[in-house]
Amino acid sequence: MAKKENKTKNNNDVPEKPRETTVEFLASLAAVLVTGLFIITFIVQAFEIPSSSMEDTLLIGDHVFVNRVMFAPKTGWIDFLLPYRNIRHGDIVVFLHPDAAYLGTYVVKRIIGIPGDRIHLREGVVYRNGEKLVEPYIDHDRDDPSDYYRNSFPAVSPTSDPNISPTWEAELPSHIQGDDLVVPPGHYFAMGDHRGVSLDSRYWGFIPRENIIGRPMFIYWSFETPADQYMRTSIGDRLGFLAHVVLHFFDETRWKRTLKIVR
């Protein structure tokens, strides 16, 4: 009886899974790294919000993932597989600054005008194609009624404001028809939600289509960050802030903003 029981036990044994070889492990690791590199290069990209120009939609210290595919040029043969679409009114976009003085700088703003739109502001209110816009996302806490260029664009001469790009100051009159600024083909007019502080298309002009990188999807992490932190570029300042993040990760992380969808 004992021999028969042993035979039955042996028949029910699960075959041992072959161990992964070093070569197989390295191949799997390489596949993961290549896939990850492809995703962060061509599909999504991480950005940190450095300024208050989009408050309260996006705060200084918000870290967002940006969809790089949505607004990418169509490739032709796999268009039906990818979620391409045109840029629309109200889209928040990340783009390369169009002013040569800020070459290589990434900016985030909201699209107000697309090609062909006629834009003007009166007392801080935006009118597009003759219609007053309803913009519930705007933060008005820093509005200044005496800032006539900002609030009555483009009716007031830009020479009164030192923040305006000299290139844009020279180009601006050629795009004005009547009381409106007309958005040319292949370009977009964008503004920040924090209207009282935002330096946007009123100050440096239109965004060329090719400068637009993508659309922020959601906030993956948000940390309380000083308003001037992006200007502290020395190694000492960066290491000091990194140490601060490590020490205060739990008490200064804005946990309620984690995974918040950007709209």
Query: Is this structure's pTM higher than 0.85?
Result: no
- For 110-170, the DSSP string reads EEEE-TT-EEEEETTEEEETTEE---TT---TT--TT-HHHHSTTTS-GGG-TTS-HHHHH
Q: Which two tokens stand for residue 57?
A: 């939609």
Question: What pairs with residue 222 in β-bridges?
Answer: 62
SS3 state at 107: strand
pLDDT range class, residue 30, cuts 50, 70, 90: low
Who has greater pLDDT, 74 or 78? Answer: 74
Taken in order of first residue, the domains within the chain and their CATH numbers are: 61-216 (2.10.109.10)
What is the tens place of the pLDDT at every residue in 131-141?
A: 999 999 999 99
pLDDT digit string (tens) for 189-243?
Answer: 999 999 999 999 999 999 999 999 999 999 999 999 999 998 898 999 999 999 9
The per-residue pLDDT for 41 is 54
Q: What percent of the chain has pLDDT over 90?
A: 71
pLDDT at 49 over 50: yes
Q: Is the CB of residue 174 less than 8 Å from the CB of residue 108? A: no
